[in-house]
Structure 1
């Protein structure tokens, strides 16, 4: 999670007028350090300052406020910048992570304050995931979680994007239910579904195997039927909640043709994906989030892109846009196949 792998930060560097930048929302409670800004301005004044990071749409500076101050002291009218495509919660995480890793470090009080806010906005993140962002120990983050009554979740998402149960007992119970439904399931399959290690699944399987001689067949059959009924009822409820007016058949509910998304729904889905560490913390996920930003482009942005495009670029961009559309159609087809395969138990 180093600053070189920031989720949603583009690689293109643009020259942005300083007058258009917003210097608010810093995780630094004491504000900017004037002496630090002067030092940056005087340090090799002929050299360009490193690019700052700016949130697209708001022009708020996420990383590099002192560099902006230094550029002003030098009398410059613009500064190099890269754009971050994400919501305010993601921008705050990136701002904290950047200020912990380089530049003028955040104070201990600021890092604790940042941890509390991240715990409120991302209650599903593990203590280690939050600690890696704010530069505190997992133990300290855990204490902050308890002190300030952060929302309790059954599972948490770690730095690697994997979902793990907060309670080992709940994970073992999920593994037990899966093995009762299908004793032939592999260790890795059950491990991924229950959020526990393969070793834990092996232990649960051994316990169930040992119980088989002590439990009469009628009892075990009854237990399996009860578990299957609970799972079926839960799935039916989830399907009704997701598609209350559609056919409750699971294969139709999860068919290959998802309903078209309007602008509001598209933005909401994109925000949800950007806040998911299982995408944020791996290379494929970060690439996907970057290209999905195009889907959230509104009509005004599209018109501006068309209007501002130089005439000599129109043919090339039109051809690339058409090729991109074909690529997205193929991706949609492959995802539809995966949806169908997941919906069909056979």
Structure 2
């Protein structure tokens, strides 16, 4: 595309482009690799030096690869691209980039941001503590492997213990999916409960200011357990009449009614808002030979809904 139709704004370099590097690229006899451009803003994500070199050589056009998405996501991509190829970013560039990513993407783990910005995990953790209050706002973080993990290990252990109390025959894998923890942690929770111990080790309770073992035992006693509908882990369920009122209000919200993703959310909520009798009929309709499969699929769906609930609550805390 024409070189004058893209913006040269340097997203990640504090001191801007380096003239000596531009001159070196301009003397290259071969064609320059395509630059990366954010389509909505036409800003160069990666390749400002190549763009200036093309202009210096008098090239009328330059190869371009377009990227869509938000400006915040474009910045993360720009940092990643400049860290892994081309002229290395300075420490000041990488530190400033990590600070900006922490501000726009606080749900990303320290390890993921460190690998993106070319810094150590400890450096990113120190920047997080200096520049954000995210530690007290979010319950989860997204890691390099794409998995969402809780910040507070006691939260997942509590959910796992409630799941075991509600259904002692649950597999370790099912418990891990429900509570958002590893299979190994689920095994440790089950073994602690078998020995009559608190599923939350003392180091977690003392560091996070959690309840004592006697308080946990009291809350887990029959009749005192907290849970959702039909004994599922979580906070007490919303009364059916109130849920129906919420759904009516949601259906009248233009931001949901007139967007494809909003209508999809409404359809999913409608399909999953059943009363106890309807859930009983669904359970009774499952052929016995398919019971293990349906139970595992239902557990997976429950874990997905729980992950959605965590994401929605975390967004609310960040905006508060």
Give the TM-score taking structure 1 as reference length: 0.62
Give the conservation status (yes or no) of the 8 Å contact 2:35–2:46.
Answer: yes
Give the conservation status (yes or no) of the 8 Å contact 1:131–1:138.
Answer: yes
> In the alignment, does 2:37 pair up with 1:54?
yes
- Note closer, same or farther for the CA distance 1:144–1:80 as it changes in structure 2 (3 Å cut): same
In structure 2, the residue corresponding to 1:196 is in which secondary structure? Answer: coil
Structure-1 separation of matches of 2:143 and 2:222: 37
Structure-1 separation of matches of 2:104 and 2:188: 36
> In the alignment, does 2:117 pair up with 1:134?
yes
- Note closer, same or farther for the CA distance 1:144–1:242 as it changes in structure 2 (3 Å cut): farther
Give the conservation status (yes or no) of the 8 Å contact 1:123–1:150.
Answer: no
Gaps of 5+ in 1: 1-15, 254-258, 270-337
Q: RCO greater where, 1 or 2, for CA within 8 Å and sep 6 or more?
A: 1
Partner residue in 2 for 1:166: 151
Instruction: Give how far 1:118 is off.
Output: 0.6
Range with greater deviation from structure 2 (84-93 or 165-174): 165-174
Match of 2:74 among 82, 87, 91: 91
Give the conservation status (yes or no) of the 8 Å contact 1:181–1:227.
Answer: no
Structure-2 separation of matches of 1:263 and 1:30: 43
> In the alignment, does 2:102 pair up with 1:119?
yes
Give the conservation status (yes or no) of the 8 Å contact 1:27–1:110.
Answer: yes
Residue-pair matches, total:
243
Deviating beyond 4 angstroms after TM superposition, the runs of 4 or more aligned structure 1 residues are 228-235, 239-243, 263-266
- Note closer, same or farther for the CA distance 1:246–1:200 as it changes in structure 2 (3 Å cut): same
Q: Aligned-residue CA RMSD in angstroms? A: 3.6
Give the TM-score taking structure 2 as reference length: 0.67
Structure-1 separation of matches of 2:129 and 2:243: 32
Summarize the alignment of residues 105-254 of structure 1 with structure 2, pairs less than 5 Å apart. Answer: 105-152=88-135, 153-211=138-196, 220-224=221-225, 226-228=226-228, 231=233, 234-236=236-238, 244-246=246-248
- Note closer, same or farther for the CA distance 1:242–1:34 as it changes in structure 2 (3 Å cut): farther
Instruction: Give how far 1:183 is off.
Output: 1.9
Structure 1 residues 299-333: Cα deviation after superposition (integer angstroms, max 9, x where no partner): xxxxxxxxxxxxxxxxxxxxxxxxxxxxxxxxxxx
